[in-house]
C-alpha cells in the first residue's frame, strides 16, 4: 500500500524530493540440476538504486507461479549475495540458505549502495521439486524493503584505535 500511496502522490505532483525507488534489472530465471535436490530454480538480477541517497540492506522477494498464477513457493533474500554455478549444483538447501542470507551482502556490497549503482541478487527455490507440487509456469520478483544508507560512507567501519 505504501508504494501505491507514493505513486498517487507523484501523480498529483506531491512527491517528496527525497523519494526514490529500487529498480530490478537484468532479471532472469533458470533451472539447474543439483546433486542433492534433483534441481533448483534460480532467479537472479541487479537491484539499481534510484534514490538520491545511498541505500542499504536491499531486500527482494520472489515467487514461483503455477499455470493459473497461484504461488507455488515464495522466498525473500538480501541483495549482494550470489552463488557460483558450481555451488548451486552441489550445495544443500541449508548451505544455500546460509550463503544467501547476509543482510550486508558479500564484502558489504549491500551497504551504502550509491545512487545510480547496482547490487546483484539471487533467490534459489528448491521446495517445488517435491512430488505433488504443481508445475512452475512463471516467476515474479519485487523489492520488499531498503534502508537509507549511513552518512559515513566508509564501510566496514575502521577498527577502534
Q: Rounded to whole angstroms, how far apart are CA atoms 60 and 144? A: 5
pTM for the predicted model, two decimal places: 0.80
Residue 15 in domain:
no
Domain ranges, residue 130? 26-145
Residue 134 in domain:
yes
Predicted local distance difference test score (pLDDT) of residue 13: 47
Burial 41-72 (b: 16+ CB within 10 A, else e): bbbbbebbbebeebbbbbbbebbbbeeeeeeb
pLDDT per residue, tens digit, the chain (161 aa), is 444 555 554 545 444 455 899 999 999 999 999 998 888 999 999 999 999 999 999 999 999 998 999 998 999 999 999 999 999 999 999 999 999 999 999 999 999 999 999 999 999 998 765 555 567 889 999 999 999 998 655 545 544 45
The enclosing domain of 84 has a CATH number of 2.60.40
Domain count of the fold of the chain? 1
Amino acid at each position: 500500500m505504501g508504494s501505491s500511496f507514493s505513486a498517487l502522490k507523484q501523480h498529483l505532483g506531491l512527491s517528496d524530493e527525497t523519494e526514490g525507488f529500487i529498480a530490478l534489472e537484468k532479471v532472469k530465471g533458470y533451472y539447474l540440476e543439483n546433486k542433492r535436490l534433483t534441481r533448483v530454480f534460480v532467479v537472479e538480477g541487479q537491484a539499481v538504486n534510484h534514490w538520491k541517497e545511498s541505500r542499504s540492506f536491499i531486500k527482494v522477494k520472489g515467487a514461483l507461479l503455477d499455470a493459473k498464477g497461484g504461488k507455488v513457493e515464495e522466498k525473500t533474500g538480501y541483495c549482494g549475495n550470489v552463488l557460483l554455478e558450481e555451488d548451486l549444483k552441489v550445495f544443500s538447501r541449508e548451505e544455500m540458505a546460509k550463503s544467501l542470507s547476509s543482510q550486508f551482502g558479500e564484502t558489504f556490497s549491500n551497504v551504502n549502495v550509491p545512487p545510480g549503482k547496482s547490487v546483484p541478487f539471487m533467490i534459489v527455490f528448491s521446495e517445488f521439486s517435491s512430488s505433488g507440487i504443481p508445475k512452475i509456469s512463471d516467476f515474479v520478483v519485487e523489492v520488499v524493503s531498503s534502508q537509507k544508507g549511513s552518512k559515513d560512507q566508509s564501510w566496514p567501519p575502521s577498527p577502534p584505535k
